[in-house]
Structure 1
Amino acid sequence: MSYVIEGLATVAVIARYLGQAPIELTTLECPVRLSDAGTGRARIELQQYLQGPKAANLLRMIMLDGHMAQRQVIHGCNESGGGWLLINVGQFELTP
């Protein structure tokens, strides 16, 4: 699988719900790989456990080169050795 973006990123996991104050936890220098996961979706692979609020529904990722994505989390798996998140993306957001 070829990756569109690979490297270190600042990753914020956010729980944002109507009528509640947002809860956000940020992980600095998190190794990530972002790849195309089909129409309108991207998969972010994580190489470490990602701290974040339970029921998080939003992800903000800022790469060291300045690229940024903030998108809704569709599905994911977060385990001690890493995991993955599936997010919505726009048509041209995955161009290298």
Structure 2
Amino acid sequence: MSWLWAIIVGLILGALARAILPGKQDIPIWLTLIFGVLGSLLGNAVAGWMGVGDTDGIDWIRHLLQLAGAVLIVAIGAPLWASIRRGSRSHGR
């Protein structure tokens, strides 16, 4: 069941990250999901290092760190994906 939650949360975080970032991120939905999951893992790691990974009640700081991680991963990954796609198109000619 935890994998199902990781997929759901990853998709939500990836979509939110794409909405927050300016411009168009031309990445497929599956990559949005992967970037969201990676951002969630990054946010969880940072929250653990800060000592706020598990608190009483709702872990707002951890959730914000997960979103920040997703924004960071999408901001780095979307241009990389675009350059990879452009590179593969030019080699096919």
TM-score norm. by structure 1 comes to 0.25
Give the structure with the higher percent strand: 1
Give the structure with the higher percent helix: 2
TM-score norm. by structure 2 comes to 0.25
| Higher-Rg member (1/2) | 2
